[in-house]
Structure 1
């Protein structure tokens, strides 16, 4: 770890030279007849494309630490462009493709990005609309060649395709064959590598400055803890504009495993049996949807099938809990013979089908970005698909803590990466210090000083507990904790997570109660699950009509009652309101990483909150 190279660009060159003929990436090519075809790049082929992109950027005048933005969905071109940017010594600015024109322009202007790699005409249109606000933006490189046509009013050479950029790079390398290697060799670890703008739950996003050696550190750390193994096939769908997705690129280039890249969320279920991955990283919402989808399918199959599923789910959780407990006490995971027998029966009836849906070869999944409820974690471990929960922030380059394959402890986010220091402040806040911590917020020394001490300790804003053997448990966001008017503290995230596991219809829950006598909740339901339930229960109408039906309210109330039975009296949900639609990114209620923007939701539905707390 101490002798690691100063940048991930060094790691990329090493990987290409060490295993040129091994498969590096798989990517889908849409087919007009039937499923998509999957193509591959070897490391040598990927290296050739990355070098051409890097040299093309140099030919455009991009210099070390200057910013090149990427606004695209997750696809192999994003990966190649990112490595091309870093092999040119430049710094990648990430932009979510869902970001509107105003915020895209803000990020590009705030970062001082000189080039934008835009996925298609939609992303290009955003900067055309705001070009007057972007004097530093010298070029837009469009991934989809057909969308790269200049328009009236564009400066000459302002728009070009990614293919044209690579052609320029190839010509540049003919005259300067060592240009990329020399640039990489000159990189220092303290140079800027990435600006990731936190989507934030309030206000304008902040640009988090991550150094070159942050990513080489992450690559080495992921390899050291065997989070991914050389023979793995990892399925990557996470947004690469998010730090969780971005850190996986550093891990992959160091470990050298295969990465199957496709960011189309609606294709996950179709792709998994085709790709047959051995590893996948996801956010808790994906695992919640899988669990609730299997439960709903079993319920639709009749009372007997649903009873079998609920029995099997209980067996999975019991099996995983007992195995984890014995491993902690004795160092070896064992279960009583009677429980092992029940588990084998449940495996044949239920678990094997779930594993088949994941492609049949899944060895481990990593969950991050938000809390995973222990009940869900135990279920998947017991079903033979261990979900390893991890923890990190954009400001800590994502992978700060993660459970290990051989010592997963459900209910915790695992142990710290090698080289990371952690301590718990007097008020319970988790503090971190190490090579993965940001330099600060871009152009905002005032905000940096609020979270980063002079001696390098980063205040995460999360409340947690650290076990004697180094396992971290996150209990809630410091700013989300609230106190009722009766003086009782409530951790809403934990309550919300429990409910989403209990209720197969739930999409989101927002617990309310700060300064109030009791807790209430706003509940959004998952539209596909709700409409299937409505059909089975002969509740007519569209989503809004089904939500308003008293039978729906009563069904949800039953799950709220189940939730309340697990809570302390002051935590219980006394009343709730169903929201008229799902919460989403497009309406600004969720961040692109699917975190709840509490102030936005509370403001939008203040009238429903007022109904639950009428003025005397």
Structure 2
């Protein structure tokens, strides 16, 4: 374990490595890559840090980063850390009420926003809390033209260019300690609220250093190239960025919409993702297998059948080796053709997808971690690789199972607690220092951790987004037409709902529109379904886009209130499966774009349009 370090120290080491190798940070801007050397990145961040100090932002203050996931986020984050400030990352697209809560709860008096347009939108939505008195807008100009009628009198605004000028005229670097609080990262709780996990410099630097140092044959310097597209306000992507600082790697910042195109252009050796991207690729291959005709179709079906098998005979393995080069080479090229560390986290990856990717020559390392553990707890690697598991712990992490099967974690990387929320802290951190994850697990005979479900009411989509089902269910139950509702979607690509109608209200509604049908027939009647769709649409309008209910079904059955969520999912498994069954296999992805991929897998061109 590498304890006793700060995050800026990781960048300092990376600068030493990059000075002799030429590794750089790269941002896609205006149709081309714009690059920063490690030393230029560090100097810009240091200038911003000195500017914040000259502007009167005191050590220990919380600074909210309402920013897109690009190199500017990295600069603002590092500037705050250098100035001994505490960052509060905020997703720009989340509901205004959530943004406002984070700013109020953290006591942030300064915000950094990615653009003038974003600042104006936040002000219109009244997302900027009254406690905020300073705003930094990332802009290359010294002054910013803003409509005065939209600006609160309390808010002093400065551009990043002007901030840098302030810093250059009064250069300073504050003393930073490993025990200093580095960030407060807000996560969802079961009631629909938010709680801020407090992580120190040592928590984060030591965790990612342990994770990187345990990657087999990971090299220092420009030999490794990382492509980053996941949200940096989540600890998963941000921790990996810190690891790339330490190791002096090339880092390219992409977006969900451009990531498939950039994979082919950048050809990274390191790529972290969430299951949803891999699911999209898997689904698109399935479409190709079904739609392609002639000899190409025969080859695809032959290779894909081999790729589905976990256990292969020697003859089948030889066939798969041939298929990797004859059939699946274009798929590997779609990911750049150089991947050495293909890491999936944020949510569980389905075993069949892991098996298929390994078979085609793209082995995926599956990881497990939480915001409260500074990101990485365990991951598959080397001989500890088995589909359906998340491997073994990284150095410094202890794992054990509680009597009920809950996964417990103990390490020096565990958070300090939830900000201003001692009750929530005591609920998950026991007296012996074990963090109660809220996830059920078991160990394989080889000692690998396998996740088996959630003890907590929260669940994750395959996009890595947390869903709080109870508040959504409560809103559905407020309608006279709904007796009970269950939101579903663990490890799926979107949320859906099982709705149990209130029988008498449903009968009245049917009579009001002249329907005289049996109860079962009413549940599939287009007029009745439209009434419930109106209800769902009204609720969706108030939810973050990732939490909206995309599909629902009406069920005649009675819901036993004593059942756990897992038992409900099991009892109504057939209904849930029907909600996620592709109703039109040709509509799984957006319309295909012409591709440079070889003809055999040309349908994979639509993966360029992946949207997280």
8 Å contact from structure 1 (residues 388, 405) kept in 2: no
Q: 2:119 aligns with which of 103, 116, 124?
A: 124
8 Å contact from structure 2 (residues 100, 127) kept in 1: no
Q: Deviations over 1:465-502 (max 9, x none)?
A: 123543111011113599xxxxxxxxx999965xx6xx
Determine helix, strand or coil for the equivalent of 1:19. Answer: helix
Q: Deviations over 1:86-111 (max 9, x none)?
A: 11111110100112322212111111
**Distance in 1 between residues matched to 2:487 and 2:555, nearest whole Å:** 22
- 2:226 maps to 1:226: no
**Paired residues for 1:412-451 under 5 Å:** 412-451=389-428
Q: C-alpha displacement at 1:341, in angstroms?
A: 2.4
**Distance in 1 between residues matched to 2:72 and 2:540, nearest whole Å:** 24
What's 2:206 paired with? 217
- 2:318 maps to 1:341: yes
- 2:358 maps to 1:368: no
Q: C-alpha displacement at 1:605, in angstroms?
A: 7.3
TM-score (structure 1 length as normaliser):
0.73
Q: C-alpha displacement at 1:249, in angstroms?
A: 1.6
**Distance in 2 between residues matched to 1:138 and 1:431, nearest whole Å:** 41
What's 2:483 paired with? none
What's 1:112 paired with? 107
- 2:447 maps to 1:456: no
**Distance in 2 between residues matched to 1:424 and 1:133, nearest whole Å:** 42
**Paired residues for 1:377-388 under 5 Å:** 377-388=354-365
Determine helix, strand or coil for the equivalent of 1:198. Answer: strand
What's 1:27 paired with? 27
Determine helix, strand or coil for the equivalent of 1:196. Answer: strand
Determine helix, strand or coil for the equivalent of 1:389. Answer: strand
**Distance in 2 between residues matched to 1:478 and 1:122, nearest whole Å:** 41
Determine helix, strand or coil for the equivalent of 1:460. Answer: strand
Q: Deviations over 1:481-536 (max 9, x none)?
A: 99xxxxxxxxx999965xx6xxxxxx44658699xxxxxxxxxxxxxxxxxxxxxx
8 Å contact from structure 1 (residues 65, 193) kept in 2: no
Q: 1:286 aligns with which of 265, 277, 289?
A: 277
What's 1:170 paired with? 168
What's 2:66 paired with? 71
What's 1:237 paired with? 229
Q: Deviations over 1:297-329 (max 9, x none)?
A: 3433337645533432231243xx34xxxxxxx
Q: Residues 20, 612 of structure 1: CA spacing in aligned structure 2 closer, same or farther, 3 A cutoff?
A: farther
**Distance in 1 between residues matched to 2:360 and 2:353, nearest whole Å:** 11
**Distance in 2 between residues matched to 1:286 and 1:209, nearest whole Å:** 30
Determine helix, strand or coil for the equivalent of 1:159. Answer: strand
Determine helix, strand or coil for the equivalent of 1:476. Answer: strand
Determine helix, strand or coil for the equivalent of 1:294. Answer: helix
For structure 2, the residue ranges without an aligned partner over 5 or more in a row are 460-485, 501-523, 527-531, 561-612
Determine helix, strand or coil for the equivalent of 2:433. Answer: coil
Determine helix, strand or coil for the equivalent of 2:60. Answer: coil
Q: C-alpha displacement at 1:367, in angstroms?
A: 0.8
- 2:251 maps to 1:255: no
Q: Deviations over 1:369-421 (max 9, x none)?
A: 11101110011011111111101111111211111256422211011111111
Determine helix, strand or coil for the equivalent of 1:206. Answer: strand
TM-score (structure 2 length as normaliser):
0.74
- 2:132 maps to 1:137: yes
Q: C-alpha displacement at 1:14, in angstroms?
A: 2.9
**Distance in 2 between residues matched to 1:157 and 1:495, nearest whole Å:** 41
8 Å contact from structure 1 (residues 7, 188) kept in 2: yes
Q: Residues 509, 296 of structure 1: CA spacing in aligned structure 2 closer, same or farther, 3 A cutoff?
A: farther
- 2:31 maps to 1:44: no
**Distance in 2 between residues matched to 1:141 and 1:56, nearest whole Å:** 11
8 Å contact from structure 1 (residues 105, 133) kept in 2: yes
Q: C-alpha displacement at 1:588, in angstroms?
A: 6.5
**Distance in 2 between residues matched to 1:614 and 1:6, nearest whole Å:** 53
**Distance in 2 between residues matched to 1:66 and 1:314, nearest whole Å:** 57
**Distance in 1 between residues matched to 2:422 and 2:96, nearest whole Å:** 26
**Distance in 1 between residues matched to 2:341 and 2:123, nearest whole Å:** 43
Q: 1:297 aligns with which of 252, 275, 288?
A: 288
Q: Deviations over 1:108-139 (max 9, x none)?
A: 11111121110123431254347797343231
Q: Which of 156-165 and 371-380 deviates more?
A: 156-165
Q: C-alpha displacement at 1:256, in angstroms?
A: 1.8
**Distance in 2 between residues matched to 1:510 and 1:549, nearest whole Å:** 19
Q: Residues 132, 242 of structure 1: CA spacing in aligned structure 2 closer, same or farther, 3 A cutoff?
A: closer
Q: Deviations over 1:19-59 (max 9, x none)?
A: 335313111122xxxxx211222211111111111111111
**Distance in 2 between residues matched to 1:137 and 1:374, nearest whole Å:** 46
What's 2:238 paired with? 246
Q: Which of 435-444 and 120-129 deviates more?
A: 120-129
**Distance in 1 between residues matched to 2:166 and 2:556, nearest whole Å:** 63
Pick 1 or 2: higher relative contact order, CA cutoff 8 A, min separation 6.
2
Q: 1:158 aligns with which of 156, 159, 173?
A: 156
- Please provide the CA RMSD for this pair: 3.4
8 Å contact from structure 2 (residues 488, 497) kept in 1: no
For structure 1, the residue ranges without an aligned partner over 5 or more in a row are 31-35, 174-178, 323-334, 483-491, 501-506, 515-547, 551-577
**Distance in 2 between residues matched to 1:356 and 1:427, nearest whole Å:** 45
Q: Residues 549, 39 of structure 1: CA spacing in aligned structure 2 closer, same or farther, 3 A cutoff?
A: farther
Determine helix, strand or coil for the equivalent of 1:422. Answer: strand
**Distance in 1 between residues matched to 2:534 and 2:258, nearest whole Å:** 27
Equivalent residue pairs, number? 498
